[in-house]
Amino acid sequence: MQAQNMQGNLLVVGGGSENYNSWSDTPYAWAVNKAQNKRIAIIGTDASPTTWLPNYFVSLGAVFAKNFPITNNSTANAQATYDSLVTYDMIFFRGGNQYNYYNRYKNTLTQQAVQEVFDRGGLIGGTSAGLHILSKVVYTAQNGTVYPDEALANPHNQYMTLADDFLDLLPGIVFDSHFAERARFGRLMGFLAKWFFDHNEDITGIGIDDKTAICIDTEMNAIVYGTGAANIYKAGEGNQYSLSGTKLAASNLHVSQMVHGSGFNLNTFEMQSSGEVLNPVSNGPVSESIIWLSGSDLPAKNQNMLTLLGLSGNMADKIIIVTTGNTAFAGQYASILTQLGFENEILVANQTTGADPEWVNKLNNSSKFLFAGCSYDPLIDFVENSAGGQALKSSIMALEKYAAFIGDNSRFAGKSFLNNYTQSYAGYDGLFDFKPGLGLLRNSLVMPKTFDSSVDNESTATGVVYGMVRDSLKFGIWLHDNCVAWIYPEENKIKLRALGNFPLILAENIGTKAGFTDQSAVNSGNPRAIAAFDKFIFRLMDETLSVDIDFFTSVNEINFSQNLFYPNPFLDRVFLANEFYQTLALHIYDGYGRKLYDEILYEKKVISLPELKAGIYYFRLTDVKGKTISVQKMIRQ
């Protein structure tokens, strides 16, 4: 699009209450200063608005501010209304219902007056519903509001009402309000796709958080003020929108989040931010198992995943259902698996079962696992501090093993996860609590139940990218409804696909400047849990799209030296010389060929061997299928 300037200025506010000596002072004062005669008209559809907002504008430098309760089409089209409005250099639209603005003011003298004030260099502003009518493309809400999950499940549903026949202020843009608070990133992507499907035109979506504003001058420079972020969504090069049934897919969306004091240009979309460059880090072992992660706790949403788990590998293999005490919940899934014809057994993961030799043996030799109803603290205690837990961790990361996670427990598969995503206002109050996960996805964070009413939707929306920035992760995964993430090895890559009737939302950090807001939305002073980044890649995934999310080094590619283990001779421990991220096995034999020791190695190891007596030993390293990689003669002093 050819660079262009605007005739006037815009104050675009995402909603939330203004207050004296608060977040709103700076952007609202900026707007007042852009109004040459400092006269401000405040328009709304309520018959009896309070005088608080006019008084607030006066406190910021306005010489006069007046409410205009324009409640119907007749008042909107009255000559007296027009004659008065054009004497103001700033017009501000209150919150409410944007369809009332669109329906009652369209093609009236009020619309004409607003356009004239803007075209002569004035300022037009709006908050919440008033924000929606400031972009050329308007979400009218003609049939009522549309929720994010509805927009993604079917962008052509009856509530997706977009129009471009109202005010001509900012072309090529659609705004959305209360963005983080109501997890509206899903519906904004739906708006972009809907417009493209209907008009074959890519537009840019800008979602503004509550208690957040962007100030846009005539040269299209935008500055962000407030406690949240301005969220910019654009189609990237080669992006393709498509429908699988009715659910939406998109292959390449560029997303930016700009926080207080940052800026961007609406012609070039160059970002001016102060963060440090964040390059994603992939540390630790790579899981070579096949993994499924579901978006819902409900059994009805997980039937297909359970069937896939049961049919994988040897159908006769028993499925181990791992729980930490919620046996009723685990029992529901045991019953379903039994009905489907798959043998299963429930493991209550604790220190008692972790020390039970029978369970340790089962966990070492089982190939199929289902995590259902686990609480984090007892699960991690089991995994880290018991022989059974170590056996479980080794098994679920090994080749030709299968692990499925139900709903809430899907979070645990990542490198880290948001622990308190169900806590009301956890993100808004700056109280996020992240924990280390099991690391099956060593560079990712997973969020199930993204749009559920049972969770805090601001936390599910913002927690993923916040965690990615916090922990330098490459990928973030949002799951919802019956969406299932399917992760599997192929050649030397780890691939991700999506299953189910709802799209998987994938965020990717390709290396970008990033940081966090330092602004608080509450009196506690904690900064709101909002991340900032110049550019992430977002995808809406269906079963046709696969993404390489990791890689591992194949056995043939490992460049082993003659001194694979060192030191040689050794005392009570040895080191593995090569750093690798593939599951291998070490077998130690004495001089008579008797096997003395076995250990699964899934990361760079220090191997303690205090029980070995002085003598000659042979260290044999194999892959998980038993193929010999190296045999080394070692001397124990």
- The reply to whether 82 falls in a domain is yes
Q: Tokens 């990791």 belong to which residue?
A: 550
Q: Residue length, the chain?
A: 637
Residue 591 has pLDDT above 90, yes or no: no
Look at residue 576 in the predicted model and tell me its pLDDT. 82
Residue 396 has pLDDT above 70, yes or no: yes
Residue 377 has pLDDT above 70, yes or no: yes
Look at residue 218 in the predicted model and tell me its pLDDT. 98
Mean pLDDT score, 548-571: 71
- Cβ(312)–Cβ(422) under 8 Å? no
324 and 369 co-located in one domain: yes
Residue at which a domain ends, from 359, 374, 405: 405
Nearest to 619 by CA among 578, 579, 556, 576: 576
- The reply to whether 321 falls in a domain is yes
- Cβ(269)–Cβ(234) under 8 Å? yes
Q: Phi and psi dihedrals of 418, rounded to 5? A: -85, 115
Question: E strand or H helix at 447, and its extent?
Answer: strand 444-447
Q: How far apart are CA 62 and CA 408, in angstroms?
A: 51
> Which residues are within 8 A (CB) of 322 and not within 5 positions of it... i.e. 6 or more apart?
347, 349, 369, 370, 371, 372, 374, 379, 392
Model confidence at 619, pLDDT cuts 50, 70, 90, reads confident
Residue 623 has pLDDT above 80, yes or no: no
The whole domain housing 365 covers 303-405
- Cβ(544)–Cβ(553) under 8 Å? no
Look at residue 11 in the predicted model and tell me its pLDDT. 99
% of the chain beyond a pLDDT of 70? 95
- Dihedral sign for Cα 347, 351, 355, 356, please: negative
Look at residue 557 in the predicted model and tell me its pLDDT. 47
Residue 578 has pLDDT above 70, yes or no: no
Beta bridge partners, 23, equal: none
The structure's pTM equals: 0.87
% of the chain beyond a pLDDT of 90? 82
- Dihedral sign for Cα 379, 435, 212, 3, please: negative
Q: Any idea what the CATH number is for the domain that residue 374 is in?
A: 3.40.50.880
Q: How far apart are CA 60 and CA 92, in angstroms?
A: 14
Residue 401 has pLDDT above 50, yes or no: yes
Residue 626 has pLDDT above 70, yes or no: no
136 and 32 co-located in one domain: yes
- Cβ(601)–Cβ(612) under 8 Å? no
Look at residue 616 in the predicted model and tell me its pLDDT. 86
- The reply to whether 549 falls in a domain is no
Q: Phi and psi dihedrals of 102, rounded to 5? A: -60, -45
32 and 165 co-located in one domain: yes
Q: How far apart are CA 476 and CA 138, in angstroms?
A: 30
- The reply to whether 497 falls in a domain is no
124 and 46 co-located in one domain: yes
Q: How far apart are CA 632 and CA 567, in angstroms?
A: 12
Model confidence at 559, pLDDT cuts 50, 70, 90, reads very low
- The reply to whether 386 falls in a domain is yes
Model confidence at 222, pLDDT cuts 50, 70, 90, reads very high
Look at residue 413 in the predicted model and tell me its pLDDT. 99
221 and 81 co-located in one domain: yes
Model confidence at 555, pLDDT cuts 50, 70, 90, reads very low
Mean pLDDT score, 479-496: 94
Mean pLDDT score, 94-109: 98
What domain count does the chain have?
3
- The reply to whether 415 falls in a domain is no
- Cβ(469)–Cβ(502) under 8 Å? no
CA 202 to chain centre: 23
Look at residue 183 in the predicted model and tell me its pLDDT. 98
Mean pLDDT score, 223-243: 98
The angle, 0 to 180 degrees and rounded to 10, between the axes of the packed helices 387-396 and 376-385 is 100
- Report pLDDT digits (tens) over 156-197: 999 999 999 999 999 999 999 999 999 999 999 999 999 999
322 and 221 co-located in one domain: no
- Parallel, antiparallel, or unpaired for β 319-323 and 344-348? parallel
262 and 321 co-located in one domain: no
| Residue with more model confidence, 419 or 285 | 419
Look at residue 637 in the predicted model and tell me its pLDDT. 87
| Residue with more model confidence, 618 or 152 | 152
- The reply to whether 198 falls in a domain is no
Mean pLDDT score, 423-437: 97
Q: Which stretches within 291-375 are classed as H helix? A: 303-311, 327-339, 351-354, 357-365
Q: Any idea what the CATH number is for the domain that residue 616 is in?
A: 2.60.40.3080
Look at residue 625 in the predicted model and tell me its pLDDT. 60
What Cα–Cα distance (Å) separates residue 226 from each residue in 19, 61, 215, 217, 240? 12, 20, 11, 17, 34
Model confidence at 560, pLDDT cuts 50, 70, 90, reads very low
| Average pLDDT value over all residues in the chain | 94
266 and 329 co-located in one domain: no
Mean pLDDT score, 377-387: 98
| Residue with more model confidence, 619 or 127 | 127
214 and 338 co-located in one domain: no
Joined tokens for residue 273? 């931010």
CA 479 to chain centre: 9
- The reply to whether 602 falls in a domain is yes
Mean pLDDT score, 346-353: 98
Report the range of poorest mean pLDDT among 97-106, 437-446, 554-563.
Answer: 554-563
399 and 343 co-located in one domain: yes
221 and 318 co-located in one domain: no
264 and 326 co-located in one domain: no
Give SS3 for 106: coil
- Report pLDDT digits (tens) over 266-313: 999 999 987 889 999 888 888 989 999 999 999 999 999 999 999 999
- Report pLDDT digits (tens) over 23-78: 999 999 999 999 999 999 999 999 999 999 999 999 999 999 999 999 999 999 99
